Structure 1
Amino acid sequence: METKPALSNENNYLDWSVQLKTYLMAQDLWEIVESRSDPPAPEIEAAFKAWSKTNAMVLHVIQMSCQPNRFSDIREISSARIAWDTLAEKYKPKRPDPSSSIAPVPLRKDELLDSRENDEKGNINGDVEIYTELNKALQSGDWNAAKEFLNTHPHAISAKITDTKKTALHVAAEAGHEHIVEELVNIMSEENLEIKDFEGFTALAQASFRGSYRMVECMLGKNKNLTIMGNDEGNIPLILALYNGQLDLARYLYLLTPLEILMPENGTMGAAIVSEAIYNKALDIALDLVKLCPRLAIAQDRIGYCPLYALACMPDYFLGGNELVFWKRWIYSGIHIQSAGPINEIHLNIQKSAGNLSNDKEIIGLGIKHLYEMKLAHVLSNELLRRMRDQLSISNIQQIRAGRVEDAILRATKEGIFEIVFEMVKANPQLVWSHDARSRNIFSVAVEYRRAKIFSLIHGLNIENGLAGFPDFTNKNNLLHMAGMSAASTSLNQIPGAALKMQRELQWFKEVESIVPSKSHGFLNKEGLTPRQLFTKNHADMMSNGEKWMKDTASSCTVVGALIVTIMFAAAFTVPGGNDQNKGFPIFLNEKLFMVFIVSDALSLFSSSTSVLMFLGILTSRYAEEDFLKSLPTKMIIGLSTIFFSIAAMMTAFSAALFLMLCEQSWIVIPVICLASVPVTLFVLMQFPLLVDMTILTYRHGIFNRKMERWF
């Protein structure tokens, strides 16, 4: 079972919020809390239904993580975001306002004497009002005033001077005054540096939050034990720096944190650091720690998952998760990354890495350092994955279950990270049958999220006959039913046009239909629908949008084609130079350029006529489901191809005519031709990518790699 933090009061709110946020991020649910935009309108049924489901899931998690006396605060709230904000407003510790001009309430003489006595004894529980002047001086960065107060009240150096039980060092670190922090550290003892506030954090934790290397170095120079001092939840400074994205500081803290406290037998801290490092793009830290302690790869972190799950949540760390145009792919393939070295030599910061890689300086200088950073991340993540695979191959079933490796593989399948699924199943073949709470295995998840490369692995297992069952026992959907469901929007983002999206969905259904046994075609799910009926029901809107897209595109192109037909037909009888009045033949009949003109005119006329007929065929099509698979795309491909050809031929005819009539005025002919080509070129540039995509999607080989050999 998953263990989530329980909110009890303001004393553990920060720990609760940090852990719950990490859990929601791992489940891809945090966005609904973070988003400030309004939910979709109920009229947009699909979007509103998806939002409502996600909102209910997040709200349930928040409710279940509250103790009974705190649940009452959000019992009547139906929005996850509002519930989160309500709890934050009520229980998040309020920080003192440094700009407040409200004067402290004057103390009676006897109260003041008691407070001073407490101060002289170092009583940290005394009245904080007597430290108001010190607090203001620290907040404003006035060291002289703070020093004067400390000279008068020497024990104030270790007193808790705020309502949140912060010391002077806490306040100065939180305010970011590095010079005051250095002065305070010089006059404090090692024990004073270890004093914690009401959240259980030392002043070093505050400095780690801010990412101040100078403050951290100053404190650790006096007391190195601060690196292992965390609050009750085990949040040591290294974790705090990672969580807040202070990666350079995190690397420094990592080098000073004792390795022994990060071992799995000492708790979840080590696995939590690896996971946080992965989530926050500090792959060098994660890789180095897994190298030193491979068992952390599948050890439980604080939210019950292993670092492998964190890696499975980050598709950008692998080449398949990045769509690159051809020229970027070419540059990417030419970038050389040196093998990973010690932690202090590995940095995702390009400014630090470039200094040691002379071969890549020219590439970086081209202004494409993001490609370098991308490949560096890919190299590190693949090395990290290899280390995790090696550990998994020697782990027993209890360790695998404890680390929830199955959840990691299913998450990798959902994100389309082929490398993780392939390597993990290859390391432990039993993981090929990993399933979730709804009994969906990796192949049914691959179908649901349209991950063709992962589903192709099935061809290397020879288990097609075992696909007739119900991979989703909750709704009694078999694998073909899963193909009949609407694909997640993210899996279709790269496909242009609703018609091509419908085509891709049909291709998926046909591919899965050809793999599963014939008896699966007639199975009924919980709704009493066969796979084909479910497909028709779920894709009705997509088919309607595809029809509209096809008709709109065909209508626009028909207008262009008709104009070209009209122009080229007229040009054939009004040739440049005119006709001989006696014989009726064109005056330039014997000129080579005239033959170029007349042939180009004829080709443009015939091809534009063909395109108009194709587009008319699209406009009058019956628009059945099967038409989107081949018929409609083929007509669109022919129509676009011929209209592009007719445009090119028209421009050739136009250029030839100008040269014939103005052969001695070439200085004006060439600019005119160039200007006339601009609108035509723009039209081609806008529509030609569509033609290429449509041709590839329609006539390339099947979605799956049916030649996959047995891979374990």
Structure 2
Amino acid sequence: MTPKELELTTNQNCTALYFAAQSEIVTIAEEMVKKNRNLPSIFPDCIYNLPLFVAIVSTGNRDMVSYLYSVTPIDGLASADLMQLLMASISSDLYDTALKILDTLKLEHEEKKLLWDPLEMLARKPSEIIGNKSRPSVWEKCLNSCFRGRFCNKAMMQASAHHLVYCLWKELGDENFSSTAVQYHMQLLREAAQVGNVEFLVILIRSYPDLIWQVDVGYGTLFHVAIKHRQERVFNLIYEIGVLKGNLATVYEPKRSSDMLHLAGELPSSDRLNIVSGAALQMQRELLWFQEIEKIVPKSYVNMKNRKGKAPRDIFVKTHEELQKNGEKWMKGTANSCMLVAALIATVVFPAAFTVPGGNNQETGIPIFLESNWFTVFFISDAVAMLFSSSSILVFLSILTSRYTEKDFLVSLPRRLAIGLSTLLISIIGMLIAFTAACFLVFKGKTGVPIRIIVGAPAVPISLFVILHYALWLDIFRSAFCSKRFLFRSQNMLFKQAS
């Protein structure tokens, strides 16, 4: 095609480069631009027909976007078009490109209120602003440059997103203190607190500490929003303001006249409940939330009734009644299944102790392989399997016979389940080691038997058991032994210097 032909547009006013930008093949775009340098800046109808814009929106391919940005005369675009590019870059998680566009964007004082929209978009992206780094490290830059973004790309984007929030907030400048800014502040706080975007909140609060005290008519403070949506990382910021947290605890949610404890008594959405496995562990988590906030609010607020005449404890019992029943059902079902496995192991390993490999001497009754080291391994591992499977049965039996009160869900049941699963795993490992030792005793004289395969075989079921139950095990052990410490603690984020 000739340079002139490349400028031809379709009925939708799209050039050939527009379609090449969607292909993710940078070479095609490079060849087109070599023939006609004006192609990147041709968008007859609107900004949506700009090749750079479609590359950002349609694929988000970093190589294509980076190339088109380098050949597109960004400085010549109107402020409205640059704002569209900025929003599109944030939507596609291309924060390095968004930073470049923001540096180019020159807004008048009355136009700066447009920056609230990209800030609100960033407030909804908690996974993209992790950590407190506003700049990528030197080695991250080097690796990213050498391997064209294939390494450290996520770290680079997170650092860019962090810096983008800071730049947007700084760019607003005096707008933060105008009379109309309060509604934007609360919208940002609400959006960030709902999704747990604590890094975003820290950037804002460091430069404007009064945000902690702002109260929304429908949602209360950011801590009320965090409690309602069970965002513990956001709520943990309350521990960094010292004795003043008691003042925040007395603030009501204006819409329903509910304080923090009333909100903790309500059931959160299912997506927040399901962050831990099993209804029993979910019930424990809810109890921990209620008890923690009960410590923060003044004692006079513990039994205070809301507009509907209900105390926090009454609300909690009513809204969590179904969850408590489901927790009991889940715990009993898990205990029944595990106890069945433990009983099968005990049934197998008990007679194995008396019918030892190789048999006994007919005259003395002493096992033939008694002096062998593998016989010692066999007997010890068989005894371990027997003892721990029996212990597992008893632990799961205690779960089945529990009263299933709220107090049981808090500590007793999770710990019993953790102990029961641990003893069950040990009994499985002991049974498999006993099997391996028996194979060595019987076939050690036969060279044709693949001994190495026999040795490695027990690793397969053990690995499967751990891998398939990894998430459940992690939730159970965390809930059983470090749930309170893991959930509620000061993270020292507000007053920690950003790198």
- Scaled by the length of structure 1, the TM-score of the pair is 0.59
2:124 aligns with one of 313, 332, 351: 313
Superposition deviation, residue 531 in structure 1: 1.8
> Structure 2: how far apart are the matches of 1:710 and 1:375?
21
| Deviations 1:29-56 (CA, angstroms, capped at 9, x unpaired) | xxxxxxxxxxxxxxxxxxxxxxxxxxxx
Whether the 8 Å contact between 2:17 and 2:39 is mirrored in structure 1 is no
Tell me whether 1:479 sits opposite 2:260 in the alignment. Answer: yes
Superposition deviation, residue 636 in structure 1: 0.6
Q: AA paired with 1:337?
A: E
Q: Percent of aligned positions with the same letter in both sequences?
A: 30
Superposition deviation, residue 524 in structure 1: 2.0
Q: AA paired with 1:545?
A: N
Equivalent position of 2:25 in the other structure: none
Equivalent position of 1:203 in the other structure: 13
Report the secondary structure of 1:474's partner residue: coil
**Cα 1:310–1:706, aligned 2, differ >3 Å: closer, same or farther?**
closer
Report the secondary structure of 2:113's partner residue: coil
Equivalent position of 1:256 in the other structure: 73
> Structure 2: how far apart are the matches of 1:524 and 1:219?
73
**Cα 1:676–1:238, aligned 2, differ >3 Å: closer, same or farther?**
closer
> Structure 2: how far apart are the matches of 1:663 and 1:396?
80
Tell me whether 1:273 sits opposite 2:273 in the alignment. Answer: no
| Number of equivalences | 476
Equivalent position of 1:554 in the other structure: 335
**Cα 1:444–1:664, aligned 2, differ >3 Å: closer, same or farther?**
same
Equivalent position of 1:620 in the other structure: 401
**Cα 1:516–1:636, aligned 2, differ >3 Å: closer, same or farther?**
same
Whether the 8 Å contact between 1:496 and 1:690 is mirrored in structure 2 is yes
Whether the 8 Å contact between 1:271 and 1:300 is mirrored in structure 2 is no
2:193 aligns with one of 413, 429, 449: 413
Whether the 8 Å contact between 2:56 and 2:88 is mirrored in structure 1 is yes
**Cα 1:296–1:469, aligned 2, differ >3 Å: closer, same or farther?**
farther
Whether the 8 Å contact between 1:242 and 1:280 is mirrored in structure 2 is no
Equivalent position of 1:513 in the other structure: 294
Whether the 8 Å contact between 1:294 and 1:388 is mirrored in structure 2 is no
1:384 aligns with one of 153, 158, 164: 164
Superposition deviation, residue 557 in structure 1: 0.9
| Deviations 1:280-337 (CA, angstroms, capped at 9, x unpaired) | 3332332013234486999333xx94321111122332237xxxxxxxxxxxx99943
Superposition deviation, residue 459 in structure 1: 1.1
1:645 aligns with one of 426, 430, 433: 426
More off after superposition, 416-425 vs 591-600? 591-600
Superposition deviation, residue 235 in structure 1: 6.8
Superposition deviation, residue 493 in structure 1: 4.2
> Structure 1: how far apart are the matches of 2:6 and 2:469?
68
| Deviations 1:127-170 (CA, angstroms, capped at 9, x unpaired) | xxxxxxxxxxxxxxxxxxxxxxxxxxxxxxxxxxxxxxxxxxxx
Tell me whether 1:442 sits opposite 2:442 in the alignment. Answer: no
1:694-705 matched pairs, under 5 angstroms: 694-700=476-482, 701-705=485-489
Superposition deviation, residue 574 in structure 1: 1.6
**Cα 1:499–1:269, aligned 2, differ >3 Å: closer, same or farther?**
same
Whether the 8 Å contact between 2:279 and 2:327 is mirrored in structure 1 is yes
Superposition deviation, residue 431 in structure 1: 1.7
Equivalent position of 1:337 in the other structure: 140
> Structure 2: how far apart are the matches of 1:223 and 1:337?
30
Equivalent position of 2:468 in the other structure: 686
| Deviations 1:343-377 (CA, angstroms, capped at 9, x unpaired) | xxxxxxxxxx96xx22x47xx8xxxx4x6432232
Tell me whether 1:290 sits opposite 2:102 in the alignment. Answer: yes
Equivalent position of 2:26 in the other structure: none
Q: AA paired with 2:309?
A: G
Report the secondary structure of 2:258's partner residue: coil
Whether the 8 Å contact between 1:576 and 1:661 is mirrored in structure 2 is yes
> Structure 1: how far apart are the matches of 2:177 and 2:16?
41
More off after superposition, 700-709 vs 545-554? 700-709
Equivalent position of 1:432 in the other structure: 212
Q: AA paired with 1:704?
A: F
Long gaps (5+) in structure 2: 23-28
**Cα 1:589–1:461, aligned 2, differ >3 Å: closer, same or farther?**
same
Superposition deviation, residue 237 in structure 1: 4.1
Equivalent position of 1:157 in the other structure: none
> Structure 1: how far apart are the matches of 2:40 and 2:153?
36
2:361 aligns with one of 571, 580, 587: 580
1:537-552 matched pairs, under 5 angstroms: 537-552=318-333
Superposition deviation, residue 611 in structure 1: 0.2
Whether the 8 Å contact between 1:484 and 1:531 is mirrored in structure 2 is yes
> Structure 1: how far apart are the matches of 2:183 and 2:309?
38
Q: AA paired with 1:499?
A: A
Report the secondary structure of 1:337's partner residue: helix
**Cα 1:299–1:659, aligned 2, differ >3 Å: closer, same or farther?**
same
> Structure 1: how far apart are the matches of 2:376 and 2:424?
22
**Cα 1:422–1:396, aligned 2, differ >3 Å: closer, same or farther?**
closer
Whether the 8 Å contact between 1:306 and 1:404 is mirrored in structure 2 is no
> Structure 1: how far apart are the matches of 2:401 and 2:106?
64
Report the secondary structure of 2:367's partner residue: coil
> Structure 1: how far apart are the matches of 2:70 and 2:465?
57
Whether the 8 Å contact between 1:242 and 1:277 is mirrored in structure 2 is no
**Cα 1:272–1:427, aligned 2, differ >3 Å: closer, same or farther?**
farther
1:71-470 matched pairs, under 5 angstroms: 182-183=4-5, 203=13, 208=18, 211=21, 221=38, 237=50, 241=54, 244-245=57-58, 248=64, 251-252=68-69, 255-258=72-75, 261-262=78-79, 269-293=81-105, 299-301=112-114, 305-319=116-130, 336-338=139-141, 357-358=145-146, 360=147, 369=150, 372-392=152-172, 395-398=175-178, 401=181, 404-462=184-242, 463-470=244-251
| Deviations 1:539-592 (CA, angstroms, capped at 9, x unpaired) | 233223222222221111111110111122111222223333343333333333
Superposition deviation, residue 209 in structure 1: 8.1
Whether the 8 Å contact between 1:283 and 1:380 is mirrored in structure 2 is yes
1:654 aligns with one of 435, 439, 454: 435
Report the secondary structure of 2:380's partner residue: helix
Q: AA paired with 1:683?
A: F
**Cα 1:334–1:568, aligned 2, differ >3 Å: closer, same or farther?**
farther
Whether the 8 Å contact between 2:396 and 2:417 is mirrored in structure 1 is yes
Q: AA paired with 1:503?
A: Q
Whether the 8 Å contact between 1:294 and 1:387 is mirrored in structure 2 is no
| Deviations 1:467-513 (CA, angstroms, capped at 9, x unpaired) | 34354222222111222222233334442222222222222222222
Tell me whether 1:636 sits opposite 2:448 in the alignment. Answer: no
> Structure 1: how far apart are the matches of 2:199 and 2:51?
29
Cα RMSD of the aligned pairs, angstroms, is 3.9
Tell me whether 1:522 sits opposite 2:332 in the alignment. Answer: no
Whether the 8 Å contact between 2:374 and 2:437 is mirrored in structure 1 is yes
Whether the 8 Å contact between 1:485 and 1:534 is mirrored in structure 2 is yes
> Structure 2: how far apart are the matches of 1:709 and 1:281?
24
> Structure 2: how far apart are the matches of 1:238 and 1:672?
61
Whether the 8 Å contact between 1:393 and 1:427 is mirrored in structure 2 is no
Equivalent position of 1:589 in the other structure: 370
**Cα 1:468–1:520, aligned 2, differ >3 Å: closer, same or farther?**
farther
Equivalent position of 1:167 in the other structure: none
Whether the 8 Å contact between 1:208 and 1:216 is mirrored in structure 2 is no
Report the secondary structure of 1:510's partner residue: helix
Whether the 8 Å contact between 1:393 and 1:428 is mirrored in structure 2 is no
Superposition deviation, residue 453 in structure 1: 1.6
Superposition deviation, residue 230 in structure 1: 6.0
Q: AA paired with 2:323?
A: M
Long gaps (5+) in structure 1: 1-178, 187-192, 263-267, 321-332, 340-352
Whether the 8 Å contact between 2:388 and 2:424 is mirrored in structure 1 is yes
> Structure 2: how far apart are the matches of 1:440 and 1:548?
36
Whether the 8 Å contact between 2:40 and 2:52 is mirrored in structure 1 is no
More off after superposition, 205-214 vs 388-397? 205-214
> Structure 1: how far apart are the matches of 2:490 and 2:96?
37
More off after superposition, 581-590 vs 238-247? 238-247
